[in-house]
Amino acid sequence: GMAFVIAMHSFPLVFIFVKSALDLISSEMEDAANILGAGTWVTMRKVTLPLVWPSILGGFILIFLETIALFGTPAIIGIPARINVVTTQLWQFFEDPVRVEVAAAFAIPLLLITIALIAVQKLMLNRKGFVSQTGKGGERREVKLGPWRWVLLGWCVSVALLSVGKPLIVLLQASFAKAWGRGFSLDNLTLRNYRFLLFEHDQAPQAVWNTLWFSAASATMAIILALLVAYIVVRKLMRFAGALGFLAMAPFVIPGIVLAIGFYAAYAGPPMSLYGSALLLILAFTARFLPIAYASSQAAIRAVHPEMEEAARILGSGRLHAIRKITAPLIKSSLLGGWLVVFIVASRELSAAIFLVGPRTRTMSVLLYDLTEQGNFEVVSAFGGILLFITMVIVGIGMKLVGRDFMLRRE
């Protein structure tokens, strides 16, 4: 059950990786194989798949790293079935009495596994070329699959239904139900679950507010910091700029739960004493998702040729004035897209937040987990519906302001 749910949740990452790689493959290479007698399947196996192999491997490693640091699914599905994993065991170390030193030691293997996987990826891709020589992107064409088209259509529909369709239908039905087990009927419909959460629950409205402003603050801090670092790195304004860029991307290879334990150990006690504060959560979210903001900022700044700034400076403008008048307007859409992506992932972050929240700083994801332990599935579904609604509103704003593909902009 855990493996199935995690797979349904994680497969879009591989899809994004592989689709981006396929868009960059020149169609002329596949045409050459077809001219030399290779059919569709042979061309795919001999030409296309080897070229996207780095993306497949990168997606596999990313999902593996996300999975071993995942807390929500193992906690909700695994703990009742007495299936323990590293993350749920780490959570037990934070129960009374709190044993931070044991949790820190227990988290080290996660970090070592991460480093080992990155090394394996570099080793497997070493001394191999995975590039298209023409520099042209792939042309979208219709591929004649014959009877296999129905099999692949069924596969795509089944994936969509299992990962999105059925879970959302059940979630919405349960959120409006008096008793979920009674099934769908008009006399079973009610708004009481939403009214209870929004107007009667003593923590739900505060959790919604905390989620919104924690996510907004961390997204703003991450974008500002990432923009400064990306500008220094891309424009090479100082020595060892590459090392600065490496530090900005370093949190990407640190599992979120390990990062949270590190923040707890470093800042929870004296002299900082930040445990349970909003500042600790915002700092942790900023560090956790800084690589996303940095990747977006770096790609945006690379797209602006430095000669445009140099022309302004020749005409008497200072560097800051040139950035404000030329660079900033050109990259504002990309920065807004990066901000929205960080906001979305921060608003549903659980692995790090579960270790750092206090009584007054609970986020929606943490409160959602707390509600599952109470066993009221209707209220849990309603709160999940509220979180889903907020996410969809942010995605809609992103599509309106930046474009439909704002969540896929990567270089």
pLDDT in tens, 271-317: 888 888 899 999 999 998 998 888 888 877 777 777 776 777 777 77
* Structure confidence by residue, pLDDT tens digits, 105-161: 888 887 788 778 777 766 766 655 544 444 455 566 777 788 888 999 999 999 999
Distance CA 255, CA 247 (A): 15
CA distance 61 to 221: 28
Which amino acid, one-letter code, is at 320?
Answer: L
Helices in 137-203 by DSSP H: which ranges? 148-160, 166-175, 192-195
The DSSP line for 285-337 is HHHHHHHHHHHHHHHHHHTS-HHHHHHHHHTT--HHHHIIIIIHHHHHHHHHH
CB 278 within 8 A of CB 363: no
Q: What is the pTM of this model?
A: 0.77
Q: What is the mean pLDDT of residues 238-261?
A: 79
- CATH architecture of the domain 191-411 equals Orthogonal Bundle (1.10)
The first and second tokens of residue 377, run together, are: 């599935």
For the cut 90, the answer to whether the pLDDT of residue 200 exceeds it is no
Q: Which amino acid is at 309?
A: E
User: Which of 76, 1, 4, 65 shows the shortest CA–CA distance to 380?
Assistant: 76
Please state, rounded to an integer, the average pLDDT across all residues of the chain: 81
Q: Do domains 1-130 and 191-411 have the same CATH topology?
A: yes
Q: Say whether pLDDT at 404 is over 70.
A: no
Token pair recorded at residue 346: 């921060």
What is the residue extent of each domain of the chain? 1-130, 191-411
Two tokens, residue 314: 């020749």
Query: May I ask the CATH architecture of the domain 1-130?
Result: Orthogonal Bundle (1.10)
Burial class (CB within 10 angstroms; exposed 0-12, middle 13-18, buried 19+) of 28: middle
Q: How many CA atoms lie within 13 A of 88 on its CB side?
A: 16
Query: What's the confidence (pLDDT) of residue 211?
Result: 92
Backbone angles phi, psi at 131, to 5 degrees: -130, 155
